[in-house]
Structure 1
Amino acid sequence: MTGDPRAGPFSLHHRRYEDWFDRHRAAYLSELLAVRALLPWQGRGLEIGVGTGRFAAPLGVAYGIDPAAEMLGYARARGVHATRAIAEALPFADEVFDYALIVTTICFVEDPAAMLREAARVLRPGGVLVIGFIDRNSPLGQDYLAHQAENVFYREASFYSADEVSALLMDTGFHDPVWVQTLSTPLERTRDIEPVSAGAGQGAFITVRVRH
């Protein structure tokens, strides 16, 4: 399988990736709640860029793909049916999922528009797509940009603003967006789980739900 070279750091540093969720537990749980607020409660789901299953498993998303083989073992151990694949070429037939989830993956894929077209292809008519991402225009997004060269994971990342993600979604045929946000304080000062609020522009972690 030909994969995005941006997956390399996740293969090499999978333990470090896992440790992030334990070191920043309040931030992680805040993100999890923001995704939970918009994700369907029922149906057959797929996480594109499942990583170690930190979102798919607790949210009940049964299927996942990721190009980093070393990450898949964690996801499988958490009960996810995880397959090695890239977001731009999903190994599934048309119209087989009720919803799809993409968490932070958009900043790592080589072609986000192709990923969204693939998500649309595998979703049933009326299916739901939920995307969680770090807003480039937020203080955390700006901090990641300022220190991008120093971060083993974000060195090759392409960050997006909420407006840019919205445009990508509209261009690929998704509609009826609903936005929520969380993480309004700097990551190093986040000690408590933050409530989810509506909209975008205040929180660093943005979640949007659209329909196909």
Structure 2
Amino acid sequence: MPRTAPFESHHYRYDEWFERHAAAYHSELLAVRAQLPWRGLGLSIGVGTGRFAGPLGVQIGIDPAYAVLDYAAKRGISTVQAVAEALPFADGLFDHALCVTTICFVDDVSGMLSEARRVLKPGGVLVIGFIDLTSSLGQTYMTQQAENVFYRDATFFSAAEVEQLLTDTGFTGPDWVQTLSKPLGKIRDIESLSSGYGQGAFVVVQAKRP
């Protein structure tokens, strides 16, 4: 069952996080921007309130939480209520797909990745952004998980685990960037990004459908 209850009940609080942590958000946004193609038809899987898909020009977004879709629509995204493991789109429709902070909330990650691969054109790009479990911020989220209304039922992943999942579902050439080297409360300015993973808390991987 999709873990939508916190986002249905606390959608305003969720969207407000990006205002309260503006420097961290913009650091994440720039990291995703570096990996996302500039052209073509895009799909945001787990679009949320559209904080990433909107400014990055991703045209279509799905989310199982109905309450957040109105925010995304107001940010210029065509929205559909759906789950990541059963995308309501034809095979090979999209040039790229985006999943930001989605992977920890789906019931079946392999199912989500397989569906993303199905709806991408040959040569299409999948971009995934998430908090690396092995980072200090990832470990903080883990230790405080029971107290966080959004992350209470989340499943966190390391970058290495996601890389293996991508390989297992037929994606090739994973390329990583990372940002957020400081604790969340100490980020006052937009951070630069670096290649790879292992130092930054927020990691973004680009992989291709052969």
1:54 counterpart (37, 51, 56):
51
User: How far does residue 176 in structure 1 lie from its aligned partner after superposition?
Assistant: 0.6
Aligned residue pair count: 209
Asked if 1:107 corresponds to 2:104, the answer is yes
User: How far does residue 126 in structure 1 lie from its aligned partner after superposition?
Assistant: 0.6
Moved over 6 A (4+): none
Q: 5 Å matches for 1:63-212?
A: 63-212=60-209
Cα distance in structure 2, aligned partners of 1:76 and 1:43: 19
SS at match of 1:195: coil
User: How far does residue 52 in structure 1 lie from its aligned partner after superposition?
Assistant: 0.4
Runs (5+) with no aligned partner, structure 2: none
User: How far does residue 19 in structure 1 lie from its aligned partner after superposition?
Assistant: 0.8
RMSD: 0.5
SS at match of 2:157: coil
User: How far does residue 20 in structure 1 lie from its aligned partner after superposition?
Assistant: 0.2
Cα distance in structure 1, aligned partners of 2:5 and 2:122: 34
TM norm structure 1:
0.98
TM norm structure 2:
0.99
Cα distance in structure 2, aligned partners of 1:176 and 1:163: 14
Cα distance in structure 2, aligned partners of 1:127 and 1:173: 12
Letter in 1 for 2:149: V
CA deviation profile, 1:165-202 (whole Å, cap 9, x unmatched): 00000000001111000000000000000001111000
CA deviation profile, 1:18-39 (whole Å, cap 9, x unmatched): 1100000000000000000010
Letter in 1 for 2:177: V
SS at match of 1:89: coil
SS at match of 1:157: coil
The equivalent residue for 1:45 is: 42
Asked if 1:21 corresponds to 2:18, the answer is yes
